[in-house]
Structure formats: C-alpha cells, structure tokens
Chains A and B, each alone.
Chain A
C-alpha cells in the first residue's frame, strides 16, 4: 500500500496535479457553484469550461514549446508569430469583398498558417544550420516579429466583422467551444505523431545526449527544423484563436507574454529546460494550472492583474524544486535522517 503511494508521489505528474487540485478546491470553497456546468442554447457553460477555453491558446503553444524544449531549445518568438498570423488573417479578411464568406476565412487562415511555417523554418535555420543558441535565435524574431505584424496591420487594430472567423474563437461545436476542440486536436496530433513514429524518441535522445545520438546516426538538423516549424505552426493557430476571439488583430497585444506562459506550462508539467524527456500530458496539466491560477485570482477577489506575482511565485517554486542544489540538500537530509534512525535502532 505504502509502496503504491510512494510510486504515486514519485510520479513526475504528482506535484503538478496536486497543484491543480489545490487550486480547484480553493475555487470551490470561494465559489460553491464553481464546478457547475450548465447547458445554455445547447452550449456548455461554466467556470470549468471557461478555464478550458481561455487556456486553449496557451496549451496549443505549450505543446509546440514542449517539443522545442525537449531538444534543449526554446522558442521566444511564439508571441510575435501569433501576432503575425492574426494580423495576416485579419488583413486578408478585411481586404476581401466578402469578409463573411467561408472561402475568404479559409484562405486567410491557410495563408496565415503557411506564413507561420516559413517563420518556423527561419528559426530552425538559425538554430540548426547557423548554430545560434536557441534563445538568441528566436529573440531576433521576437523583436522583429511584432514590427512585422504592425507593418501588416499598418499600426491599426484591425477589427473584422466575419462570422465564420469569429466562430474560430468563440463558436461551439456539439456544445463544446471550438477553441477547446482545436486545442484537443493539436494535442492529439502532436502526441500521435511523436509517439506513434520514432520522432518522440529522437527528440528525447537528442535532448538527452546529442553526441551519443549523433554517433547512433540520428540527424539532429532535420529534427530541429521539424520542432521549430511545428512550434511556429502552433503559435499561429493560437494567434488565430486569440484574434478571432476579439475579432480584432492587435499587433501590439495579441499573444503578449504568451511565450512566457507556454514555457511556464512546460516547466510546471515536469519537462526540464535542460532538454530530454518530455511529457505532453504534463504540459496539459501545466497549462491548466496556469489558467486555473488566473481564474482563481479572479474568484478569490484579488485584482486579476496581480496574477503575475503568483506566476512569479510558481516559477520560482518550480525552479527551486527542480534545482540540483535542492535535490542534494534533500538527499543529504534524508541520509542524515536515515543515519539517525539507524543509530536510534542500534541504541535501542
């Protein structure tokens, strides 16, 4: 029994899940109707659904970020890519004679996604071919990307009136918010592709031991292109959802800080920033923790904007828990306990 408990505690999703449960309980105490999910007009409503829907963009980006981080990389440009894709889609819709038609929206979305692929290949090129450190390589696009987005929107906030586009952000399908469905699909596709092919194993292998992987014939270069492109693609999808949600492309604020939330979700989910083994499930939990945290701050009545202080606390705690120094201190403490216990037995 205790062995089982120990195994559960040792599982790397244990603490993230505990964190999530604690947050949910706090909400339940503060707001007894928190878990209520009602059906209105055939759509699901409720705080839990809100968490899922508002957390969807972060989750989508975090999925791509997980793979990038697993290769010992990082992608800071996702927020900028999200802004660009939103700007591209909105400007195409605005520029077309029929903003409300499905074909227009389909074109806009396709073009936005294609551009994101180019941006991803660009990041992959800088990292894999030129050999620039990932933080720096993606910093370039992070800086220039918002400028490009503004170039596309010409500095305006582009408001579009296009029901099919708005549907992406706030629509429902079978009662479930579209954003949630998209996030689920992205998550599922990523999990399927990486775990059903050998991609996941190669990504982990390169992240854990690049030289051993090279000697085993794993081609890191192609792999890096794949993960950075996929990450940019995810960022574009998230950007489209965010833009569609407000029906407006705001080059300055779409996806602002979302790279940080995504990285945070990955880290909370137990994927080490040093690369190597990753857990998409962990990232899912991490993204939910972040969104629930935001919601909790709302329900408890703290000014919502102060969420960042809590995020800072979470980052710090997670980092300190993951730190080798802490691990050493812990094992030293345990050893001392054991020694003391041993002495106690000997004495008695």
Chain B
C-alpha cells in the first residue's frame, strides 16, 4: 500500500500561470502516484489553489505540460477534467443547496430513460454511494438542510462516483469537528486502498501528518520541493513553507530588542480576556500595552487574522471580554473600534482595504471623514495637506493625490491604506500582513514606520507570515496554531527556529490524543528558547511554569 508504483498518475511539469501583474505559478513541477495521499502545502499566495485549478481545468496554463495516466492532456474546463477522472471537492462546498442530495451527487451524468431523468435509478445509485461512505441520509432531501460536514461527504460521494483516478480535497476539514474528520479519514483510507490518488490540502499540520504519505511545498508560486511525510520533520516543513529571507534591517532588530525590557511596566491599553468566536478562534487572552508591538505568528488558518478581526471590530466576538483603556467594551462594528482609536488594516488589500476607484486623497481621508460624519466635511485644504504629508512621509508613488488608487502598485496601495489609518491617529494599529506581495523597498519602509510609531507610544498588533519580520519588529510575540493561542513570549532571545518549533508543534489539542512524536518534538524544539521567553497567559496554578519576569504577572 505504501510503496509507490513507478509511474505517477498525474505529472505536471514546468507549469507557469500569470495573472495581470502577478506570476501565480512559475515553473512548478508536481506529481501524484496512484494509491497515495499527497498534500500540497504553502502559505497565502504560494500558488496552491492556482495549481489545483490548473489541474482541474478551471485555469488554462501559460506554459508547461500536464500528463494524466501517461497521456498529455489539456483541459478547457472542469467538465473535461472531470471526464478524464480528476474529481474535486472544493474548499467552499461547491454544491447546490437548493437541490436534493441525489441530484448533487448525480447531476451532469444522471441516468435517463426516454429523455427524462430516471429519478428512481438516480436515487438508488445515490443511496449506494452514500452507503459506501457510511452516510445514512435520505437522498431526496435538500442538500441545504444538512450540516456542512454531511455536505462535504456528499461532495466526496459525487467525486468518487466518476471512477476518479485523482481526487482533490481542498481544505475539506476546515469546518469539521474531530469525529467528522475521523470519518472523513476513514473514507480517504478506503479510497486509497482502491488505488485512487488523493490530493489533500489542509492548514492543519496534525491532519497532514496523520493522513498523508507525501507532500509538495510551494512558496511564492515556486516549487520548494517534494518530500515523503515520514522523512520530513514538522519544523522543517514549516520552515520550508515560510522560507527565510535575508535580514535587511539588522539595526531595527537590535533596537526593537533594546526596548523590550521597559515595556512591561507600560499601561495596558487593550486587554482581551477569553475573547473568541465560534469557528474562527478559540477563546484567548491578549493584553497589549501602550507603545508595545505585539507580533502574531502562526500559519494561515491558525486564527491569527480571525483574532485580529475581533480586536478591530470587523467580526463580533461571541465569548470573552474586551477592555479598552480600562473600560469594558463590546465592539460591534469597525466604526466603534475606530471611535476607540483602534484601526484594523486588512490583509485583503483589494477587497477589504483600498477603494480602488477613488483617488489617493479620498482613500487617505476616508476613515477620518467617516468618523466625523458626512455633514462635517474636512476642508479641501486640510485634505490636501493630509494627503500631501502622508504621500511624503510614506513615500507614496506616484505622489499625485488625484491618482486613482487602483492604478498604484501593491506596495503603494498598502501605504495609502496605512496612511488612512494613521490619519485617524490610532492608539492601536492592527496590521494584518502589511508587507505581503510588495517589493522589498516598500517592505523596509513599512517596517521602519511600524517601529517609529511604537516608539511614539502607539500600540501595534503586527501579523505576518514572515517570521524574521515579526521577530524584528515585535516586543512580544503571540503564537497561534489550529485556532488556539499556544504561546505568548517576550521577544528576548527568540529565534526563527524557536518560533518555527512553536508554530509546528506548539499546541496540544485538548480532545485528541497527543501524538508522541509531536509532543516530543515540541519539547525539544522549545528547548533553545528556554529562559528567554515569558508566558503571560499561563494559569498561575500550573507548577511547571516558573516565570522569571515578575513584572507581568
């Protein structure tokens, strides 16, 4: 079962795909063998979904070849890929909630008699398939009436009905609970024994290590490598996903660390106690002092963005308490957060950040103006001053306040977004991946800016997938994994390696048995940073947690 047959069922060679302004995939090789579970790993923008869509015929490829079971193929649509034996279950369940379960399984190849759909045959076949998945539901019921987990299994039933050679599961577990995941894994194993090649994409490392035989790592549209899961330590995997970038701002790093000592006395500006939201982030604590830069480290899907969104009022927390400046507060809208001088700068610059068809000036004054209300316009002269001053301070190019933001480069759009938030003079600035997808110069400028802001007393919550950046800028680093906060450390002697270790193995799921290997690795990996960090949220009753800094607790 585990020995890979010599010929891969899927072989993609030298695949390149470009979108306007972005090279999404750059010369990537990828292969899958029959009867194996393969995982595709990578952070935001790594090119995972693009590769999957190339394989399933949703995107055409600009260069490269795709071979399926020995034949060169080129799909012009998902239907063709499906006919060739590549079935996909997408992350967002791409089924039709308004139709019956049976139809969702069979539509497109429904049995017909005399030109009519043979409903009885269809139901019979659907029942068989569902039984094969141990799913006991009425095939005539509406899909939308079932839980997401059941819908997911229905999607799989659809996928395997086509005698698929390749089954792609794109984050099938992100909304499932432990039992449902176990059920899914049982199905995956049985399909694997039937010789199906399964591509399993997940943010959850535990799951990848539990079910997968082999994995391919992508980063920034390029192939990092293909590895056997058994031979790759978690910490190495995370390192390969995140990558290492040459340290360009050593002086900043030094300075950040030099101030780390005195911040523990500063007044706490925002304090989250057990703040959480179902399906997004488990209840977690986070105090942020004035003038403190707190870094959130964790993989995509670890809850880093979800937690920040609660603090920025973008989503509502359903548990826990938030105290701002000593007063318990509930944030229901971003507007309320802004009135408390909390600014949230989204990672999704295009959809949630800049307003593309407005000018640079309008984008910069937007939040400030919204806070004042529409009937108290900021005088034109003042708007120009604001725009000019931020254009100069942040070096926004082109420096024309009347330029439309959508015509600016990514880095400059990011700076415009920053300017919008700086204009409201925030006391807490939440930056979610502010340096993603922008050039190195703009990146350095933004990093420098964050540092200067904190020196002037602004609190900053900084999220980045690049650990060097987090280390360089943060006074304190909070590590998240699988929607839990797993560590809260002073940035004093922390290294990329120690962070990687925490991200890879730091959490212990409360309701799952601890895999021995993982636990062992976590202890070992945590070793190097022992004595340098400090944990604020540790329950005081825990005898195994001697703290050395008395200031915080």
Interface set of A (CB-CB < 8 Å, partner B): 196-199, 201-202, 204-205, 208-209, 211-219, 223, 276-277
Contact = CB atoms under 8 A, between A and B. Distances in A.
Closest 10 CB pairs of A and B: A217-B370, A217-B335, A216-B367, A217-B338, A198-B374, A218-B370, A208-B357, A199-B374, A209-B355, A198-B369
- Max chain B CB contacts within 10 Å: which of A198, A218, A219, A276? A198
Nearest to B336: A217
Contacts of A204: 355, 357-358, 362
A197 B375 CA distance: 6
B378 interface: yes
Given A198-B378, A201-B369, A205-B362, A216 B334 contact: yes
A262 B374 CA distance: 26
Given A201-B358, A201-B362, A215 B352 contact: yes
Contacts of B357: 204, 208, 276-277
Interface string B344-380: 1010000111111110001000110111111111100
B314 interface: yes
B420 interface: yes
A217 B314 CA distance: 10
A205 B358 contact: yes
Contacts of B312: 215
B421 to A, nearest CB: 9
Contact of B420 (A198, A209, A211, A216): A216
16 contacts: A197-B374, A197-B376, A197-B377, A198-B373, A198-B378, A202-B374, A204-B358, A205-B358, A205-B362, A208-B357, A212-B355, A215-B312, A217-B333, A217-B370, A217-B371, A277-B358
A216 B376 CA distance: 17
A215 B358 contact: no
B59 to A, nearest CB: 17
B358 A216 contact: no
Interface residues of B, number: 31
- Greatest chain B CB density within 10 A among A196, A216, A218 is at A216
A204 B373 CA distance: 15
A69 to B, nearest CB: 14
Contacts of A215: 312, 314, 334, 344, 346, 352-353
A223 B373 CA distance: 11
Please indicate which of the listed interface residues B335, B338, B376 has the most CB atoms of chain A within 10 Å of its own CB: B335
A212 B353 contact: yes
Q: What secondary structure prevails in chain A residues at the interface with B? A: helix
B521 to A, nearest CB: 39
A212 B351 contact: yes
A216 B370 CA distance: 7
Given A204-B357, A208-B356, A196 B377 contact: yes
A231 to B, nearest CB: 17
Contacts of B366: 201, 205, 213, 216, 218
Contact of B351 (A199, A209, A219, A277): A209
Contacts of A208: 355-358
B355 A213 contact: yes
A214 B339 CA distance: 14
Nearest to B378: A198
Contacts of A205: 355, 358, 362, 366
Contacts of A196: 377
Nearest to B357: A208
Given A202-B370, A211-B351, A212-B352, A219 B335 contact: yes
Given A204-B358, A205-B358, A219-B335, A211 B352 contact: yes
A104 to B, nearest CB: 34
Given A204-B355, A215-B344, 13 more contacts: A197-B377, A198-B373, A199-B374, A205-B366, A212-B346, A215-B314, A215-B334, A215-B352, A215-B353, A216-B366, A219-B335, A276-B357, A277-B358
A197 B365 CA distance: 13
Nearest to A196: B377
A223 B369 CA distance: 14
B371 A209 contact: no
A216 B373 CA distance: 12
Contacts of A277: 357-358
Interface string B310-330: 001010000000000000000
A217 B421 CA distance: 11
Contacts of A211: 351-352
A202 B356 CA distance: 13
A314 B54 CA distance: 41
Interface in B369-397: 369-378
A214 B378 CA distance: 19
Contacts of A197: 374-377
Most buried by B among A208, A212, A219: A212
A196 B375 CA distance: 9
Contacts of B377: 196-198
B380 to A, nearest CB: 9
Nearest to A276: B357
A204 B367 CA distance: 14
Contacts of B370: 202, 213, 216-219
B359 to A, nearest CB: 9
Nearest to A214: B334
A202 B369 CA distance: 9
Contacts of B334: 214-217
Contacts of A218: 335, 366, 370
A209 B356 contact: yes
A214 B314 CA distance: 9
Contacts of B375: 197-199
Contacts of B352: 209, 211-212, 215
Contacts of A214: 333-334
B408 to A, nearest CB: 15
Contacts of B373: 198
B381 to A, nearest CB: 14
Nearest to B344: A215
Given A197-B377, A201-B366, A212 B354 contact: yes
A211 B315 CA distance: 12
Contacts of B367: 216-217
B332 to A, nearest CB: 12
B531 to A, nearest CB: 41
A23 B314 CA distance: 51
A10 B358 CA distance: 18
B354 to A, nearest CB: 7
B507 to A, nearest CB: 30
A193 to B, nearest CB: 9
A217 B369 CA distance: 9
A205 B420 CA distance: 14
Contacts of A223: 374
A286 to B, nearest CB: 20
Contacts of A198: 369, 372-378
Most B CB atoms within 10 A — which of A202, A217, A218?
A217
A216 B333 CA distance: 10
Nearest to A219: B335
B338 to A, nearest CB: 4
Contacts of B335: 217-219
A204 B420 CA distance: 17
Interface in B125-165: none
Contacts of B354: 209, 212
B133 to A, nearest CB: 37
Contacts of B358: 201, 204-205, 208, 277
Contacts of A209: 351-352, 354-356
Contacts of A276: 357
Nearest to A200: B374
A237 to B, nearest CB: 22
A214 B309 CA distance: 13
Contacts of B344: 215
B470 to A, nearest CB: 23
Nearest to B309: A215
Contacts of B376: 197-198
A49 B111 CA distance: 69
A202 B375 CA distance: 11
